[in-house]
Structure formats: structure tokens, C-alpha cells
């Protein structure tokens, strides 16, 4: 007995620079649920590069933490300065 495997039509992924019709763009976009954002502008596909934790999220969190520490320290200095001036 010979079995024939059915070929499932594969949908090509969206890539920046592809030239597509609106219908083809929407078909490919719906086939890629992991894709957060893609745009079709005048028939050209634009897909932004994904943000990574190591290069974006981690430095962002560190900057927020440093900013908080500096803000709290400056607040303490202002309070200490007021106490010294009014003593």
C-alpha cells in the first residue's frame, strides 16, 4: 500500500522590503501570530526589528533604578539642608 502525504501550502513569512498586495500582506500577517507589528506602505512591507531584553530592557531597567536612587538621594540632601539652615 502506498501512502501519499498531503502537502500543506506554506505561507512565506513577512520580511522587510517585500512588495505585496494588500490581500497577500493580510494573509501572511494573519499566518504569523508571533509578529507584533508590520506595515504595508505603498506596497512595501516594513517589519521593525524585535527589541531584546539584553540590549533594550535590561539597560532601561538599570537607568530607571539609577534615576530613582539619585532622586531619593537629592530629596534626602534637600531635607538635610533645610534642617541645617533652620537649626
* Distance set, CA 64 to CA 40, 52, 54, 60 (Å): 35, 17, 15, 6
| Residue 40 and residue 15 share a domain | yes
> How buried is residue 53: exposed, middle or buried, by Cβ count under 10 Å (0-12/13-18/19+)?
exposed
The verdict on residue 58 lying in a domain is: yes
So what's the pLDDT on residue 62? 86
Low-confidence ranges of the chain (pLDDT < 70): 1, 3-9, 51-53, 86-87
| Residue 79 and residue 55 share a domain | yes
Tally of domains in the chain: 2
So what's the pLDDT on residue 86? 65
Task: Round to whole Å and give the CA distance between 19 and 35.
Answer: 18
Task: Round to whole Å and give the CA distance between 78 and 85.
Answer: 11
| Residue 65 and residue 44 share a domain | no
> Partners of 54 in the beta sheet?
none
Q: Which domain holds residue 61?
A: 51-87
Amino acid at each position: 500500500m502506498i501512502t501519499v502525504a498531503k502537502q500543506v501550502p506554506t505561507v512565506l513569512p513577512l520580511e522587510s522590503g517585500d512588495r505585496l498586495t494588500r490581500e497577500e500582506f493580510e494573509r501572511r500577517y494573519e499566518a504569523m501570530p508571533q509578529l507584533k507589528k508590520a506595515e504595508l506602505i505603498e506596497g512595501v512591507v516594513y517589519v521593525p526589528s524585535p527589541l531584546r531584553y539584553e540590549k533594550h530592557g535590561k539597560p532601561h531597567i538599570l537607568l530607571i533604578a539609577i534615576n530613582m536612587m539619585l532622586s531619593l538621594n537629592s530629596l534626602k540632601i534637600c531635607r538635610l539642608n533645610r534642617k541645617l539652615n533652620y537649626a
